[in-house]
Amino acid sequence: MRLHSFLSLGPDGFHRIAYTDWGDARNPRAVLCVHGLSRNSRDFDRLAAALELDRRVVCMDVVGRGDSDWLEDKSGYSFSTYLGDAAALIARVTTPPPGGLLESLQARLRGQRPAATLDWVGTSMGGLIGMLLAAKPGSPIRRLVLNDVGPFVPWNALIRLKGHIGSETRFADFAGVEDWVRQACSSFGALDEDFWRHLAEHAAVREADGGYRLRYDPDISRGLPVHRDPELPIGPEFLRGIDLWSAWEAVRCPVLVLRGEESEVLPRETVAEMQRRKPDLKVVEFAGVGHVPALASADQIGVVRDFLAAAEQQP
């Protein structure tokens, strides 16, 4: 695993976006993983370690989280910013290695567009970012994994998710961080002790006074209201929740939906409507899990790996 960063442009100037990079950086088969609302790239360490043998795996810290910069203008915490940052990272990941630049240029001169070789795994908010990007004309996303999120998110579920943010961000010792992580992430289901420890270790940083601070800006939930975010259009279901059905209709790539059996963020009726509009949608539900499947167990990782591998098996 390598740690990298780059500068991206937002509404109040440049900010640094951090990401982890696994596997051979020259491998044209790349997977981009993006985390949930207050999480970070290290949530994907086990998944990335399982995929890096035959893929490059890049895991992004969304601005305001992990090792990425915090914004001065808190209204910049919006999907418009997140999509712009993700697009900049996609450009870095899909740039051909030096030996492939000539071949890519020759293909373009012949009027050919390079085949999309980027897959997307998005958890919760990261899934919404991926879906919005996959809906854009000319999107390079070849396969899309939506981890416990869909084109409709009920307001009550979103409010509960935001309720964890900013309520407690500093702790006297690491034991306090561990307790907080176990409570905040209790809906992840049964996790082994090593992974609980892993989540806690990457959830906070130690400060000069010996205490710990969570690795996200408490103001990430105080940006522009979603109805003023141009990337989140007001749909007919807006009074009930975030309505992105128009974006879902525009997604053309194969999609895998992972759902926690007890999830409130992705109701079963939403999944049923997604399947009605996209009959080839693949859905896998995990028992004993709420929001979200952690993608840290062999069965959950295997489902993602098999879905991505299916693309290589197609003629």
Two structure tokens written together for 198: 């892993």
Phi, psi of 143 (to 5 degrees): -140, 145
pLDDT tens over the chain, length 315 residues: 999 999 999 988 999 999 999 999 999 999 999 999 999 999 999 999 999 999 999 999 999 999 999 999 998 999 999 999 999 999 999 987 665 555 555 656 766 555 557 999 999 999 999 999 999 999 999 999 999 999 999 999 988 887 778 677 899 999 999 999 999 999 999 999 999 999 999 999 999 999 999 999 999 987 555 657 888 877 787 778 899 999 999 999 999 999 999 999 999 999 999 999 999 999 999 999 999 999 999 999 999 999 999 866 654
pTM of the model: 0.93
Q: How far apart are CA 177 and CA 182, in angstroms?
A: 9
End-to-end CA distance of the chain: 32
Rounded alpha-carbon distances, angstroms, from residue 2 to 5, 17, 53? 10, 14, 15
pLDDT of amino acid 105? 59
Contacting residues for 127 by C-beta, under 8 A, at least 6 apart: 34, 145, 146, 147, 148, 149
If we measure between CA atoms, which residue out of 287, 294, 240 comes closest to residue 262?
Answer: 287
**pLDDT recorded at residue 131:** 98
**What is the model's pLDDT at position 231?**
84
Q: Are strands 30-34 and 56-60 parallel, antiparallel or unpaired?
A: parallel
Q: Give CA–CA dist 283/306, Å, rounded.
A: 13
pLDDT at 218: 92
- What token pair was written down for 152? 């409709």
User: What is the distance between the alpha carbons of residues 217 and 137, in angstroms, rounded to a whole number?
Assistant: 32
> Which residue bears the tokens 């979603």?
226
